[in-house]
Amino acid sequence: MDSVPHYTRTAITLHWVIGFLILGMFALGWYMGDVPKDLPKSSSLDLFNLGLYTLQFAEPLTPRTFYFNLHKSFGVTILALVFFRICWRLTHAAPAMPASMQEWQAQAARIAHKVLYVLMLAMPVSGVVMSIYSKYGIKWFGIKLISGIDNNPLHEKLLEVHEVLGVILLTVVVIHVGAALKHKLWDKDEVWKRMSWHG
């Protein structure tokens, strides 16, 4: 029988879903930043110009509008998931670190996790606030949530904050993934199994 202490299945699912969504958001953010602003409105769109799937819209819109709204929609979704994950974490204790893990490594891991939680919350919150101060506001998959205030100077400052937080978050995520791979491939200890469905 597997004696390795695991996170709950809910925590594991949230970990991987949020992780992949965040990585997808970085990719989408870079992609949409290069979409020209002067493209005409259309009732259809070749998704990411891959020739694999064409979206049909009820009302014509520009590709840039579509991708920015998609980014905001997933951002709001991630914010909700992160909030739920924090609530779950506060009510469900994390499994103990492996006994073979040195104390300084365990302490570093605990600090890194706290930093990740702060950044995972701060990143979408900054995006939401930034969007509120734009003229477009926020739509969640077509459903209007918040109207925009249209304060461009403040919007631009908040955009800088959002981008800086993005760089910091991506750096911490890369370190987090690197540390996890080190434990699995190099140390061959049980750290990886704590966040695995199959041990």
What is the residue-wise DSSP string for 156-172?
Answer: HHHHHHHHHHHHHHHHH
Tell me the pLDDT band of 133, cut-offs 50, 70 and 90: very high
What would the mean pLDDT of 115-140 be, rounded to a whole number? 96
Higher-confidence residue of 134 and 180: namely 134
Q: How much of the chain, in percent, has pLDDT values that exceed 90?
A: 73
- Residue spans of beta strands (DSSP E) within the chain: 42-46, 54-61, 138-140, 143-146
pLDDT at 123 over 90: yes
pTM strictly above 0.85? yes
In 3-state terms, what secondary structure has residue 44? strand
Of the candidates 81, 61, 45, 30, the residue with the CA atom closest to the CA atom of residue 139: 61
Contacts of 69 (CB under 8 A, 6+ apart): 139, 142
Residue 6: band (very low, low, confident or very high) from pLDDT cuts 50, 70, 90? confident
The three-class DSSP label of residue 196 is coil
What is the structure's pLDDT at 179? 85
